[in-house]
Amino acid sequence: MTLACRKLAAHPQSAAQQHGGPWLVWLHGLLGSGEDWLPVAELCGDTPSLLVDLPGHGKSATLTTRGFADISRQLTQTLQANGIREYWLAGYSLGGRIAMYHACYGSHHGLQGLLVEGGNLGLESDELRLQRRQNDHQWAQRFRLEPLPQVLADWYQQAVFADLDAQQREQLVLLRANNSGPAVAEMLEATSLGHQPWLLPALQRLRIPYTYLCGERDHKFQQLAAQHKLPLRTLARAGHNAHRANPGAFAAQVLSFLSQSSFSPLSR
């Protein structure tokens, strides 16, 4: 089962395509789609991009997944179907968690590096994981049964979105209201943080370059990065969804990371 995606290249005959160089593969957050990455991807020079729609979202709305191992396999199949042999993997929030899992436990031959924006590393105790599964189940039931704009209005009141003002929340509700509530619910439960492994030990063993991007106003994930000594890159004038708030600065950080990592011993 392959995921819907969109290919993007600044120039059809770019050097990366001619020589089979690495692609940038982008994974969006819950309620989003691959198109969310378009403003950033268009600023990433000649590096070709693959904008992936995760199960339950965008043009993959009718697809389902059983969990992290399954979606990692779906991603591998999608890359193979698109002829991508070498790639950088970038993900935001849910997409970041999937990207980390894929890099740590998936079939990731050809993976050159990992870029994670505001992705949670997981929960360290069974009790916390159970609580999270119960919380996500409650949200999933709301997504299944209630009008989507009503649920979204409450969703964007969560603490992680505290940097948003009323107008920004309203814009996001309008933008995300075209999702399928039941499809989002299925994905939310399948990829609940309560089902995710604690990824820090595996991340620390990675033999590829990786970086952690975070908006300067995203206090929760700034603290997480500091606590676990993640290789943090901070984005100015941005909160949790930094690539949406400041795509130019985000693209600059991506290109800087790719340039530095291309000369790293770990990337060869």
Residue 235's domain is classified under what CATH number? Answer: 3.40.50.1820
Q: Residue 268: inside a domain, yes or no? A: no
What pLDDT, on the 0 to 100 scale, is given for residue 108?
A: 84
Q: Which of 82, 78, 125 is nearest to 106 (CA)?
A: 78
pTM, 2 dp: 0.94
Q: Residue 165: inside a domain, yes or no? A: no
Regions in the chain scoring below 70 on pLDDT: 10-20, 262-268
Q: In sequence order, what are the beta bridge partners of 91? A: 27, 116
Q: The dihedral of CA 234, 235, 237, 238: what is its sign? A: negative
Domain limits for position 106: 5-123+196-263
Element (H, E) at 179: none
Question: Sheet of 49-52: strands edge to edge?
Answer: 5-8, 49-52, 23-27, 87-92, 111-117, 210-215, 232-235
Measured CA to CA, the distance from residue 117 to residue 250 in angstroms comes to: 10
Q: Residue 163: inside a domain, yes or no? A: no
What pLDDT, on the 0 to 100 scale, is given for residue 13?
A: 42
Using one digit for the tens of pLDDT, what is the confidence trace for 4-62?
999 997 544 444 444 468 999 999 999 999 999 999 999 998 899 999 999 999 999 99
- As a whole number of angstroms, the longest Cα–Cα distance in the chain is 53
Tally of domains within the chain? 1
What pLDDT, on the 0 to 100 scale, is given for residue 268?
A: 39
What pLDDT, on the 0 to 100 scale, is given for residue 261?
A: 79
What pLDDT, on the 0 to 100 scale, is given for residue 1?
A: 80
Report yes or no: 50 and 6 within 8 Å, Cβ to Cβ: yes
What pLDDT, on the 0 to 100 scale, is given for residue 157?
A: 96
Q: Residue 38: inside a domain, yes or no? A: yes
Measured CA to CA, the distance from residue 172 to residue 95 in angstroms comes to: 18
Measured CA to CA, the distance from residue 7 to residue 20 in angstroms comes to: 14
What pLDDT, on the 0 to 100 scale, is given for residue 258?
A: 95
What pLDDT, on the 0 to 100 scale, is given for residue 193?
A: 98
Q: Residue 112: inside a domain, yes or no? A: yes
User: What DSSP state is assigned to residue 161?
Assistant: G
Q: Which of 23, 28, 74, 29 is nearest to 50 (CA)?
A: 23
Report yes or no: 172 and 152 within 8 Å, Cβ to Cβ: yes
Contacts 24+ apart (CB under 8 A), 124-131: 124/198, 128/194, 129/193, 129/194, 129/195, 130/194, 131/194
Q: Residue 159: inside a domain, yes or no? A: no
